[in-house]
């Protein structure tokens, strides 16, 4: 599955097929979309035409929910397995209407849902990091985390590094819950240098940067996954 | 099938593909471009984690010249170094990074001094064509260009977005030592929009303003399909521009 977050006020378009696929493959066999609030409550399972190429998340969320909070959007997309056995790797475009910030384009997380001991992952894909610039920029950072597990809560450790200091924070996410974990810009005079996210299995995770004054997104990206 | 043919042709003509890590760059007045280098993954390799890790950087400008070179050293696997890039011809291009045992993502940031956007680079390759093949390719492309075409050896498809106050431009990078004629054509639904034939010098780059391929929408956000065909290896990054277009704050983003 793939998943992302939608925040009200953003023009947010998801490419539901893989843009590099050969033309014959550019039709999904099925696409199921589910929307969850931060407490893991199922908000909607809107019907989506799998023949379209671009999904307008703003319209979808506005048409099917009445929430103004952040929504976790889960995409379960499949091609006809006889034609193409893999799932599409979605990309997306987002920009806050009226913002002077540039739009962002990003790769949507591929996430393991279901039952953790059956997911069959062979690489370390649950240990991620991201480095930050040291200048005094007027932006604040955070990580957005979501749990797609069906039955068990996920234990997550978020480590932030300031010079030689490491600050640990534990987060527990119940199934389908999501949270934004703010990262302090400074600690004891040292700037935020790096964040690490560790969990028992692959979670939905994005590193986020927002303008301090308006909150407009200037960073929305995956973290770096250790794969070796 | 096409992939196998290309692979066979590469062997036949002696085309080399040395592994290369590269990042795009853009500079504009008031927009600073800075690399963020680290090798945090090295700490998982005890035999290599101690450092130091020397890193050399070559900054190619839009016409493919090695405009600037930088040399830095990461002290250890927790060290991070920021390398501000100098302006160079064309205001865009790419840098290649060479550092033994460098395994982590490296980042490029764009900042107007207020905040910054960031993306990571790609570990791929640059194609090297022998002299005779370069001559033959140049001649063939010169003929094809007279009718607005190129030799479509490599093809990329990319969605681009045009909104009232935002859009996604495309930074094209010629990752080869031969002149790359890249044909960019846009379509929306069943409707063909415009096309352009671009000539990128070896190791050169071009910032494609997507609005040059068709009429801009009056309102809302329009999505176009962009098809890119080139005679040699190339890649692209999305360049996000806000209400001030390419004169304002920008973002860079890798594609698949």
For chain A, the residues whose C-beta falls within 8 A of a C-beta of chain B are 11, 13, 15, 18-20, 53-54, 89, 91, 93, 95, 97-107, 129, 131-135, 137-139, 161, 193-194, 209, 211-212, 218-219, 221, 224, 226, 228
For chain A, the domain total comes to: 2
Q: Is it the case that residue A24 has pLDDT exceeding 60?
A: no
Which pLDDT value is given to residue A113?
59
Q: Which of B80, B163, B240 sits opposite A104 (nearest CB)?
A: B240
Do residues A28 and A76 both lie within one domain? yes
Domains of chain B, by residue range, sit at 19-125, 135-254
Do residues A121 and A201 both lie within one domain? yes
Q: What is the pLDDT of residues B70-84, one digit of tens each?
A: 999 999 888 999 999
Which pLDDT value is given to residue A21?
53
Q: Which two tokens stand for residue A71?
A: 């929504």
Do residues A128 and A214 both lie within one domain? yes
Q: Which candidate, A27, A22, A76, places its Cα nearest to that of A52?
A: A27
Do residues A123 and A211 both lie within one domain? yes
Q: What is the pLDDT of residues A140-160, one digit of tens each?
A: 999 999 999 888 898 999 999
Q: Which of B34, B116, B240 sits opposite A105 (nearest CB)?
A: B240
At A120, is the pLDDT very low, low, confident or very high (cuts 50, 70, 90)? low
Q: Which two tokens stand for residue A162?
A: 């300031």
Which pLDDT value is given to residue A228?
43
Which residue on chain B is closest to A218 by alpha carbon?
A: B117
- Only one residue has tokens 């865009």, namely B92
At A108, is the pLDDT very low, low, confident or very high (cuts 50, 70, 90)? very high
Taking the C-alpha atoms of residue A72 and residue B26, their distance in angstroms, rounded to an integer, is 33
Which pLDDT value is given to residue A19?
63
Which residue on chain A is closest to B41 by alpha carbon?
A: A226
Q: Is it the case that residue A203 has pLDDT exceeding 50?
A: yes
Taking the C-alpha atoms of residue A203 and residue A152, their distance in angstroms, rounded to an integer, is 12
CATH class of B19-125: mainly beta
Q: Is it the case that residue A114 has pLDDT exceeding 80?
A: no
Do residues A94 and A139 both lie within one domain? no
Which pLDDT value is given to residue B49?
74
- Say if the Cβ atoms of B36 and A20 lie within 8 Å: no
Do residues A27 and A52 both lie within one domain? yes
How many pairs of residues across A and B have Cβ atoms under 8 Å apart? 136
Q: Which of A63, A82, A110 is the last residue of a domain?
A: A110
- Say if the Cβ atoms of A95 and B238 lie within 8 Å: no
* Mutant choice from B251, B252, B254 vs A, greatest count of A C-beta within 10 A: B251
Mean per-residue pLDDT over chain A, rounded: 88
Q: Which of A55, A82, A110 is the last residue of a domain?
A: A110
CB-based burial label for A172 (10 Å; 0-12, 13-18, 19+)? exposed
Q: Is it the case that residue A227 has pLDDT exceeding 90?
A: no
Residue B245 three-state SS: helix
Higher pLDDT, A109 or A25: A109
Q: Which of B44, B116, B255 sits opposite A226 (nearest CB)?
A: B44
Which residue range forms the structural domain that includes residue A26?
2-110
Do residues A144 and A68 both lie within one domain? no
Low-confidence ranges of chain B (pLDDT < 70): 1
ipTM: 0.93
3-state secondary structure B161-196: EECCCCEEEEEEEECECCCEEEEEEEEECCEEEEEE
* Mutant choice from B102, B109, B253 vs A, greatest count of A C-beta within 10 A: B253
Alpha-carbon gap: A51 to the closest alpha carbon of chain B (Å): 12
CATH class of B135-254: mainly beta
Q: Which of A11, A54, A102 sits opposite B241 (nearest CB)?
A: A102
- Say if the Cβ atoms of B250 and A102 lie within 8 Å: yes
At A125, is the pLDDT very low, low, confident or very high (cuts 50, 70, 90)? low
Which residue on chain B is closest to A55 by alpha carbon?
A: B223
Which pLDDT value is given to residue B180?
98
pTM of structure:
0.94
Q: How far is CA B123 from the centre of its chain?
A: 12
Do residues A34 and A121 both lie within one domain? no
Shared fold status for B19-125 and B135-254: yes
* Mutant choice from B31, B118, B169 vs A, greatest count of A C-beta within 10 A: B118
Do residues A34 and A12 both lie within one domain? yes
Q: Which of B44, B111, B240 sits opposite A103 (nearest CB)?
A: B240
Percent of chain A with pLDDT over 70: 88
Distances (CA, A) of A215 to A9, A82, A115: 11, 45, 35
Residue B76 three-state SS: coil
């Amino acid at each position: 599955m793939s998943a992302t977050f939608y925040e009200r006020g953003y023009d947010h378009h998801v490419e539901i097929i893989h843009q590099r696929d050969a033309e014959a493959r550019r039709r999904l066999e099925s696409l199921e979309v589910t929307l969850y609030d931060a407490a893991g409550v199922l908000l909607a399972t809107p019907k989506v035409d799998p023949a379209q190429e671009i999904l307008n998340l703003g319209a979808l969320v506005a048409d099917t929910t009445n929430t103004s909070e952040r929504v976790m959007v889960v995409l379960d997309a499949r091609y006809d397995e006889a034609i193409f056995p893999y799932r599409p790797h979605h990309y997306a475009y987002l920009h806050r209407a009226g913002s002077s910030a540039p739009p962002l384009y990003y790769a949507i997380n591929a996430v393991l849902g279901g039952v953790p001991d059956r997911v069959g992952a062979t690489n370390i894909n649950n240990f991620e990091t991201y480095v930050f610039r040291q200048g005094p920029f007027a932006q604040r950072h955070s990580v957005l985390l979501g749990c797609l597990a069906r039955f068990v809560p996920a234990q997550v450790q978020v480590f932030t590094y300031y010079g030689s200091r490491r600050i640990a924070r534990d987060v527990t996410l119940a199934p389908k819950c999501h949270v934004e974990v703010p990262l302090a810009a400074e600690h004891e005079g040292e700037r935020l240098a790096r964040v690490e996210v560790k969990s028992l299995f692959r979670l939905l995770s994005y590193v986020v940067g927002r303008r301090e004054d308006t909150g407009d997104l200037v960073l929305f990206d995956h973290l770096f996954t250790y794969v070796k | 099938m096409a992939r196998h043919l290309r692979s066979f042709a590469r062997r036949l003509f002696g085309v080399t593909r040395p592994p290369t890590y590269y990042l795009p760059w853009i500079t504009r007045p008031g927009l600073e471009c800075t690399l963020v280098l680290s090798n945090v993954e090295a700490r998982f390799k005890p035999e290599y984690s101690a450092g130091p890790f020397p890193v050399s950087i070559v900054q190619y400008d839009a016409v493919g010249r090695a405009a600037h070179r930088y040399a830095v050293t990461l002290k250890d696997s927790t060290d991070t170094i920021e390398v501000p890039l100098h302006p160079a011809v064309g205001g865009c291009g790419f840098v290649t990074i060479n550092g033994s045992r460098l395994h982590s993502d490296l980042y490029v940031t764009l900042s107007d001094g207020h905040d910054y956007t960031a993306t990571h680079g790609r570990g791929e390759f640059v194609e090297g064509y022998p002299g005779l093949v370069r001559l033959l390719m140049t001649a063939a492309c010169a003929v094809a260009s007279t009718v607005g075409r190129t030799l479509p050896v490599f093809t990329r498809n990319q969605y681009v977005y045009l909104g009232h106050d935002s859009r996604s431009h495309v930074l094209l990078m010629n990752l080869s030592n031969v002149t790359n004629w890249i044909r960019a054509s846009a379509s929306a639904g069943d409707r063909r929009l415009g096309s352009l034939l671009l000539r990128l010098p070896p190791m050169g780059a071009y910032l494609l303003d997507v609005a040059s391929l068709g009429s801009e929408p009056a309102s809302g956000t329009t999505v176009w399909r962009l098809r890119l065909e080139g005679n040699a290896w190339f890649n692209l990054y999305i360049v996000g521009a806000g209400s001030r277009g390419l004169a304002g704050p920008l973002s860079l983003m890798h594609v698949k």
